[in-house]
Structure 1
Amino acid sequence: FFFTREELKILTNFSELKFKKKFAEENSLKEKNEKKPAKKLFPNSYLFKQWTVELSEDDQRKAEDLFQKYGYNAFLSDQLPLDRELLDTRDHRCIGREYPHNLPTLSVVLIYLDEALSVIQRAICSIINRTPAHLLKEIILVDDHSTNGLFLSKNPIQPSSQRHIQKGLSQARISGWKAATGDVVAILDAHIEVHVKWAEPLLARIQADRTLVLSPVFDRVNYYDLQVTKYLASAHGFDWSLWCRYVGFPQKWYDQKDPSQPGKSPSVMGILVVDRLFFGEIGTLDGGMEVYGGENVELGIRVWLCGGSIEIVPCSKIAHIERAHKPYMPDFSNVMKRNALRVAEVWMDEYKINVNIAWGLPIQNHGIDIGDVSERKKLRDRLKCKPFKWYLENVYPELNPMHLLGYGVLINDLQTRLCLDKGPFEENTPILYPCHFMESQIFYYTASGEIFAHLPLKNNRNRCLIDPGSGRFPELSWCSDTEKQKHMYWDFKQGQAMQNRETKRCLEISADQTGKYEKNVFLQDCRNQHWKIQNIIQDL
């Protein structure tokens, strides 16, 4: 949808007056009818565990229904002012900073999927009120295949252009970019509110260097009470499964002792601001990505390899609702896996096997259809992009390409239906459990002899399988701790015993008197028991 500034003001004012009248009437009725506290209908709800307010039973049902629908407290959102004030969470050095008047113009693209109307309106209000009028060229709303039709049904203004509907976040963002006409495009989620002077730091950086892809710093809006929690600036990274995570900036950023300065980042979480024409030159987003996940990591790698760079801009702050659950599907790990493999095939060269490893897939013939990547490979050739090895060495050395010999589930030949399992985290004791081949049963055997519980980034804490030196049971303990003696190195060959190098004890299983195998695994004198690991990278 395209709206003029005047139309957007009419829309937001109309809805705010309507909601104020509605809730004034309801609150008046409640005061007359409610004489005692209502029964708590949803004591186990994620919403009401956090949001402790007195509501009538009818309002509890409404609030819970809206929470299940949107993943945040839409009931409360409908009662809040659309132009509410936000606490200024910027570093004090940002507050008085001045920017040129003649900055590039800005198109703001808001992507929404089954979003509460008041949340979208609050995003629009904040953008209008906190962006200089001469810089804000347009706001474009992109419907990422919503199912509720809420925005159209309650919209008193007819949009002046066609409705954009695309299935999948990459396609929705591309659609918004294509519709934009400003010098710079900010592609945002619709469940946000921008802080004061959010746009100027971003536009000034792009005016200085058009090859930058930028991200503001997100503050968290609690899904339950919609209060804003300040977040400090961090770089955006990912692990080998391509799940996003916050990571540290390069050391020279900290050496400046000025947290208001932009910092280089290996990737971008998803919200991004970019020169509109440069975004097209570098290939926008991969339209072959499905639904959600991985498209931002693909962009981050490509920008760095193909002539641009990514920065986080701390003086630009955006408040972002962190949903309790996402609207795409109950479990999108399968599409995330597929998208990650697609990224690896195009951009990661010989390091792409690490993505297979992270997802517990075989190195060859993983059997997952990643779609046609020929055009993306042609794009890489046309842009004369650097190899992924350069990215690992110069941009993201924390992404540790570990030297692994094997990975996957560990099975003892005596009972092939049971797998070694990490067990309850708080107990730190591995167990035997029926094989399900999910994350809790995936282990990684390194060339140096460690058995890791997870595939780590460099310098991150990880748990290792150890022999504590006494007692019968192995432990999963922090590999880097030095408080007590560790025996964390194992000799293991496929189909043979798993023996600790220092204690010479073996990891084994045993049956009870009925012949059923116990859930415990033991450390004892070796009795020629044999283990196999699911995937072999090189001969063990």
Structure 2
Amino acid sequence: MWGRTARRRCPRGLRRGREALLVLLALLALAGLGSVLRARHGAGARAADPGPPRTPRLGRREPVLPRPPVPANALGARGEAVRLQLQGEELRLQEESVRLHQINIYLSDRISLHRRLPERWNPLCKEKKYDYDNLPRTSVIIAFYNEAWSTLLRTVYSVLETSPDILLEEVILVDDYSDREHLKERLANELSGLPKVRLIRANKREGLVRARLLGASAARGDVLTFLDCHCECHEGWLEPLLQRIHEEESAVVCPVIDVIDWNTFEYLGNSGEPQIGGFDWRLVFTWHTVPERERIRMRSPVDVIRSPTMAGGLFAVSKKYFEYLGSYDTGMEVWGGENLEFSFRIWQCGGVLETHPCSHVGHVFPKQAPYSRNKALANSVRAAEVWMDEFKELYYHRNPHARLEPFGDVTERKQLRAKLQCKDFKWFLETVYPELHVPEDRPGFFGMLQNQGLKDYCFDYNPPDENQIVGHQVILYVCHGMGHNQFFEYTSQKEIRYNTHQPEGCIAVEAGMDILIMHLCEETAPENQKFILQEDGSLFHEQSKKCVQAARKESSDSFVPLLRDCTNSDHQKWFFKERML
């Protein structure tokens, strides 16, 4: 019903049902029109029976729980940064809390569980009106594993203190087999006194995907809203999500994810235009500005924004549509990669993935993952095998070790794709994410760029900040065959592209310099980015008329590629090698 033939506004099965209902209502209206008019004008006929009065939906528009007052001078009371001046034992305890949770829990424990975030949304969002009686009700599902007390409870209270009672069916906490004492009887006792909150415990460690499915299977709401276990909800966060799903049942809608600093707990919300999700060819999630084509489509600054992918943990979806789409891939372990797999499936199988500018949720991004992500690679391989068709080779070229990763049986997921008549990945790239450059990866022109004279040394680029890839020097390092920082592609435009990341980098030579520097690639390659890889292996820079040579760095034992006058030296000969033998 929501497959390839689904229309934009309404799935076919639901559309037919609504059309039939409209026809029936029209016939009933015609049949009763005369008696209704006579009743209104006192035309001698007995007044029509008005029937029983409509029963308003139970629940209030106010939040489930009132927010208790928090003193204005309390730590972080309005989302401002807090920096404790600690020493001795207190400093040790703070550092220990960061080591254990990758979040400054020592500080979190001293911030109110009921603090109010400052307004960080477009002012137009305040003008939106909602038909509360007709919006679907939601189950909010929060899976956790060994989460700290204060961040978990602050998440729960934040939901209860910002969600209209009439719209919140329940909050379901799923304990993914935690072993910390505060999450056992103490947590159960705390939650037992809260309205609409249920606690479900897994019998073994399931991982994020299956823990969430455990919550979804028990949910009673029409809509499933998934949150992470260290979030804080902005006022008015829930209504826009439910309104959009009420309008379009095949829409999966994400809130704007605002950063809460892991160390200071500062709320870094932004009322400007949110970013959308993408990915690079390592299948790593990336953030991007909204493309101009999407701005043209939007009817206002607070209209929903289509996004190629979702960040992961925070989204709302019709429960029926979630089940129709095949919920989560239960073959995925722990966490990592499930967000891209679900994003591909939504789009390719007839749905739409959106971000709503009027729904904001703060999220504490830990200093680093607090537990192992060693299953993320296998999860990404499952996504590539099921959804990416021939484009999965671009992923494997940049992750050679992924070809060897056991990923389980994906037969059922491929059958699901066939059953739902999902579109191919080429359609996704051309229609949903045309901004993503698709590499050529011509045989013999991608992989490790290895020097012939300096055995076992390859081009290497590893910027100190992965989010700022330009401006650093390309070096030579021992070839490792793992892709990533040693993966380059020579294109038909004469570029040497570093395209495992987004945005992509192109090797350039700046005026008067002899070193190789990374610049951003451009639609048309500038002259200082053009190289000719000649048949004898020499790498000729067109603008300077010099060749790239492997040379020892001054006062160092390391090596770098430099521009030199062209000779027949093996140190000026280069060849691409796809993988280590």
- What is the match of residue 422 of structure 2? 385
Which residue number in structure 2 is paired with residue 123 of structure 1?
155
Q: Partner of 1:317 in structure 2?
A: 360
Tell me, yes or no, if structure 1 residue 436 matches structure 2 residue 480.
yes
Decide whether the 8 Å contact of 1:260 with 1:314 is kept in 2: yes
Partner SS state of residue 54, structure 1: coil
Larger radius of gyration: 2
Name the CA shift for 1:450/1:427 in 2 (closer, same or farther; >3 Å): closer
Task: In structure 2, list runs of 5 or more residues that go unmatched.
Answer: 1-63, 76-80, 193-197, 465-469
- 1:79-131 Cα shifts (integer Å, max 9, x gaps): 22211111121211111321112211110101212211111111111111111
Tell me which amino acid in the other structure corresponds to 1:315: C
2:16 aligned partner: none
* 8 A contact 2:175–2:200 mirrored in 1: no
2:307 corresponds in structure 1 to: 265
Residue pair 1:216, 1:317 contacting (<8 A) in 2 also:
yes
Asked whether the equivalents of residues 444 and 455 of structure 1 are also in contact (C-alpha less than 8 Å), the reply is no
User: In structure 2, what is the Cα distance between the partners aligned to 1:477 and 1:191?
Assistant: 37
Q: Label 1:386 to 1:479 Cα distance change in 2 as closer, same or farther (>3 A).
A: closer
Shift in CA distance, 510/207, structure 1 to aligned 2, threshold 3 Å? closer
Distance 1:495 1:63, change over 3 A: farther
Percentage of pairs with the same residue = 31
Look up the equivalent residue of 1:115 and give its one-letter code.
E
1:494–1:532: 8 Å Cα contact kept in structure 2? no
5 Å-filtered alignment, 1:228-377, equals 228-231=267-270, 232=272, 233-255=274-296, 256=298, 258-270=300-312, 271-329=314-372, 332=373, 335-359=375-399, 361=400, 366-377=403-414
1:311-345 deviations in Å (ceiling 9; x for gaps):
1111111111111121222xx3x533332222111
Within 5 Å, give how 1:63-462 maps onto structure 2.
Answer: 63-102=94-133, 103-155=135-187, 157=189, 162-164=200-202, 165-231=204-270, 232=272, 233-255=274-296, 256=298, 258-270=300-312, 271-329=314-372, 332=373, 335-359=375-399, 361=400, 366-405=403-442, 406-422=445-461, 428-437=472-481, 439-455=484-500, 460=503, 462=504
Q: What letter is aligned with 2:155? A: A
Q: Corresponding residue for 1:45?
A: none
**Is the partner of 1:366 in helix, strand or coil?**
helix
How many residues align structurally?
Answer: 487
Aligned equivalent of 1:506: 547
What amino acid is the match of 1:429?
Q
- Residue aligned with 2:95, SS: helix
Secondary structure at the counterpart of residue 89 of structure 1: coil
Higher mean C-alpha displacement, 496-505 vs 387-396: 496-505
Query: 2: CA distance between counterparts of 1:523 and 1:116?
Result: 54
Q: What code does the residue aligned with 2:166 have?
A: H
Opposite residue 319 of structure 2, the aligned amino acid is: R
Query: 1:138-192, CA deviations, whole angstroms, 9 ceiling, x for partnerless residues?
Result: 1111123434343115326287765125432222222221121110010110100
1:384 Cα offset (Å): 0.5
Unaligned runs of 5+ in 1: 1-8, 25-49
Q: For 2:216, what is the secondary structure of its paired residue?
A: helix
TM-score (norm 1): 0.82
The root-mean-square deviation of aligned C-alpha atoms, in Å, is 3.3
SS in 2 for 1:296: helix
Write out per-residue CA displacement over residues 269-300 of structure 1, whole angstroms, 9 at most, x where no aligned residue.
11110001110110111111222211111111
Shift of 1:494: 7.7
2:520 pairs with 1:520: no
Partner of 2:15: none
Q: Which whole-Å deviations, capped at 9, do the CAs of 1:27-65 have from their partners, x for residues lacking one?
A: xxxxxxxxxxxxxxxxxxxxxxx9642224221111111
Per the normalisation by structure 2, the TM-score is 0.76
For 1:105 and 1:312, the matched residues in 2 are separated by 19
CA distance in 1, matches of 2:436, 2:506: 19
- Cα drift, residue 532 of structure 1: 2.2
1:253: Cα distance to partner? 4.3
